[in-house]
Every structure is written in C-alpha cells, then in structure tokens.
Amino acid sequence: MLFNSAAFILGFLPVAWVVFFALGTRGYFRAAVVWLTAASLFFYGWWNPLYVPLLMSSMAANYALGRRLSRHQSRPLLLAGIAGNLLLLGYYKYAGFLVQTANDVSGAAFPIPEIALPLAMSFFTFQQIAFLIDAYDGVAEETNFANYGMFITFFPHLIAGPITHHKEMLPQFDDSRIFRPQPSMIALGLTLFIIGLCKKVLLADTASHWVSPVFEGAAGGVPPVLTDAWLGALSYALQIYFDFSGYTDMAIGVGMLFGIRLPRNFNSPYKARNIIEFWSRWHMTLTRFLTAYLYNPLALHLTRARLQKGKPGLKRGKTSPAAFLQLVAVPTVLTMFLAGLWHGAGWQFIAFGVLHGLYLTVNHAWRTFKASRGWTMDSPRAFPRAVAVLTTFLCVIVALVFFRAASVPAAVSILSGMLGQNGAVLPDILAKLPGVWRTATALGFEFAPGPPLSQALLLVAFLLIVWTLPNSQEWLGRFETAFGSSVKDAARRRGLLSWQPTMAFGVIVGVAGFFAILRALSAAPTEFLYFQF
C-alpha cells in the first residue's frame, strides 16, 4: 500500500487511527498495540499476503533468540542468528544475481531462479540484527512480544525506513501518553505528511518523466548526447532527493499521528560540503547502522591487530600512510561496498558503493592532511563553501548514475555522454546568447533542438528549493518532530519562514495538501524509489 494512494489516505489510515485511539482512550493499551501491529501486517500484506508469514516467523525467531541472548551470552548463538538473517536475505535478494554471476564467469547455463524479494526485507533484517547484537551486549531486552512486533512492523517505517533502533522505539510504546490523541502531535504530523506528499507527487513524480527516456535508452543501446545525459542524470538526482525525503517526511508525520516519534533520516544532503557530511545527512539511519555495527567493529579489530604487532595506530596529525590505508581506507571501502550491495543485487550497485567508498577515503585523507598541517577544517567564506557544495553534488550525481542505471555498461554510456563522447550537442537556444555560438563551434560543439524551456526552468526551480529553502525539519524547528530533535539543536527559522500553529499556516498547508491529494488521487499512484531495496 502506498502513502500516496486513495486506499491509504481515505481508507487504511483513518480506520487504523480511529480504532487505535478508541482502544487507547479506554485504557486497553495492550489491545491498542496488538491492533496497530495487526494493522501494520495488513498494510504489509496488501502488496503480497503470502509474505506475511515470513515476516511473522522472522519476528518470532529473532525475539526468542534475543531473549535467550540477553539472559545467556553466547557468541556462537549470536553468530548463528546473524547468519540466519543474512542467509534468508541472501536467498531472496541475491540468489538470482549469484547464479547469473556464476554463469558469466564459468560459461555455464545454470537456471536462474526467479524469486520475488519480499517488500522491506532489507530494512527489517537490519533492525533485527541490531537487536540481536545489542541483546548479546546486554543493552537490549524486551519481554513483551507485542511491543517487539510493533517495533518491527510499525507501518510508517516498515517499507523504506527510517531504520529504527529498539532503544528509541520500545520505551515509547510503554508511554501511556501515546494512547490518547495529542493535538500538537496531530497538527505537526499532518503538516509533515502534506509536505512529504507535495514532494512526492508534485516534484519527484514530475522529475521522473525526464529520467526514464535517458536511462532506458542507455540500457537499450542508445547512448545519450551531452545535453540529454546531463538532464537525465540531474533529473534523477532531484527525483530521488524529493522522493526519498518525501517518504521520510510522510513516515515521520504518520508516526506522529499515532503519538510516536521516528528518527530523522534526511537533512538536506545536497547542501553538504563534502562526502563525509553528505552521508551524515542522507539516509541517516542507514549510515548510523553501518557505522555502529560494521565500520566501527571492523576498524577496532584492525586497530587491535595492528597494535598487537607493535605498529602505531591512528594519531591526529601523525598518521602514517600505511596506518591510514589499513585502518581507514580498508574498512571504509568495505563498508560502502556492502552498503552498495545492500541497495540491490547488481554490479551497478556495487560500483555505486565502491565509488562512495573511494570518495570517503579521499575525503578522510584530505582531512588527515589538513590536520597534519594545522589547517582549519572549515572555511567561513561563501565562495569556497559554494564550490565545495557544488563539487560534492557533482560527485553524488556521478555515483547516482550507477545507482539508477540498469547495468554498469548503461551507466558508462551515460557518463560518456556527460563527457560529450556520444556527441557534443548543446540546445539551440544557447546559440542565441552573445558569443556562445562562435565559442562553442570553435570548441567542436554542435547545436540541436533541446528540451523544452519549461523543463529547464523547472529543474532550476527544483535546485533553488534544494539549496535555498529550509528543509521540513528546519521549517518546523520550533517543535520536536523526529526522535531526539529539539528546539535547541534544530536549525530554527525565525519570522515568516518558521512554521507556527496559526490559522495562516493552517490555510497554507491546507491548500497545499488539497492540491497534493487531488494530484495523488487523479492518477495511478507511483511507488517510492526505496521500495525496491
């Protein structure tokens, strides 16, 4: 079921909300939790009810194993639990890819299994692995299966995140305040939901029309020329930005309607000045999971192994190239390799992950070099900041070409087009500008009818939204929305740009919501991009 569908907006959400609070306000807290879990399973089963037993079995097994680990610490049992979760994910998500790869390498012709990936399997697998690890470490214990089931299945985050952590969610389920409607939470939740819906149906879906022709053409053997390649790549960068941030806003907003706060997952990543900052702003809960449960343990293991051999570890300003390579580059590239593979079973996703691993390694090397020279880490000047943001954005666009392309050759075809190797063709409207025609033709460029002016203007407008306006969390920064956010650390906007619970803002949001809902209900709803992961 899609957040932008009539079935959800007019049917499922109102019914789930009314029954939950009807039970909660009468003191039937356990029944309200069970109801919301059952409603979440119905929400999940709307796509394919055959996979509901798989989700329930996974929850039951991990809950039982987590309870066992919290009482009796057993490393073999923990490893068996992690392996079981990964093997299940591997079968559904990577079996076909592995068989295809074996065929390509060996020349064999093994039949490729056609296995449908259960919706959201990557997300709930990560959540449950984190629960097992923390149960083993003694920092997680849950004796209420109803609460655990709600933690895993809570429908706002179930399909595409945020990836929640038990210490954030489970205490909220024991708070009696969530079982009574809270006007402030409802107002903020509806506002966030409408903002996300506007991003999805008005911005992301508009940009999607310019993406498919370029990427599908490249997959079909039609290399795009310079202008088309750049427009396709830029349009996809904007599509996934508004699509994913829109889903995150809607998920957090729906959670607030039920009195529950989800963690932040998106914080204007295209405003980042470097790739390290980008990953602290993009899919923030995935970055948190990878850092806590993969990068840190791997880096710690490598550091201990190095120290046992009498070799120095990392030292601020004095790190040797060998230490940097072993303790920073290796865990970084390996972590991002697995992050790319987590996103999809294909070499293009692996290329996306490795490329970001290399980006991060270069970024860390630059920081290490600056520290060794005693240079300041950031520059307050506007021009260097703008250059840094633009450079980071271009690096992200290049990686996203692999992320969206059907294959590595298709991605290379688009990147070649962006370099002008498939035809250095510019839109003919530029030839009318003073001096452009003579300069461009001298450099070997050609002119041809380009995209409509309206498309170019919309892309410019989308970029202005991304780079100049506050994001939804900043706009609502006077109030706590996502878990852990507060007015102290939120980037609040004073004056007219700061949302307040007034009639004027209610009218503005209401009008925007009317047009967004009208747009959503007037056509077949489109899936969110992260549903495929």
Whose CA is closest to 257, among 513, 36, 491?
36
Instruction: Using the Cα atoms of residue 367, residue 371, residue 377 and residue 379 in order, give the sign of their dihedral.
Output: negative
Residue 400 near residue 240 (C-beta atoms within 8 A)? yes
Rounded to whole angstroms, what are the CA distances from 329 to 275, 302, 362, 401? 14, 11, 9, 23
> How many CB atoms are located within 10 Å of the residue 235 CB?
26
Query: What is the total residue count of the chain?
Result: 533
- d(Cα 440, Cα 468) in Å, to the nearest integer? 31
- d(Cα 384, Cα 303) in Å, to the nearest integer? 35
Alpha carbon 433 to its chain's center: 40
Residue 95 token pair = 């079996």
Residue 337 token pair = 């390799």
Residue environment code for 94-121, b if the CB has 16+ CB neighbours within 10 A, otherwise e: beebeeeeeeeeeeeeeeeeeeebbbbb
- d(Cα 141, Cα 135) in Å, to the nearest integer? 6
What kind and span of H or E run contains 426? strand 425-427
Burial of 143 (0-12, 13-18, 19+ CB in 10 A): exposed
> How many CB atoms are located within 10 Å of the residue 293 CB?
16
Query: What residues contact 342, with CB distance under 8 A and at least 6 apart?
Result: 122, 533
Catalytic residue among 165, 166, 283, 343: 343
Residue 258 token pair = 């039920």
Query: What residues contact 481, with CB distance under 8 A and at least 6 apart?
Result: 188, 192, 252, 256, 261, 473
Residue 110 near residue 103 (C-beta atoms within 8 A)? yes
Rounded to 5 degrees, what are φ and ψ at 138? 85, 15
Q: 209 an active-site residue?
A: no
What kind and span of H or E run contains 446? strand 446-448
Residue 271 near residue 467 (C-beta atoms within 8 A)? yes
Dump the DSSP string for 337-396.
HHHHHHH-SSHHHHHHHHHHHHHHHHHHHHHHHHHHHT--S----HHHHHHHHHHHHHHH
Residue 132 token pair = 């097992």
Catalytic residues: 343
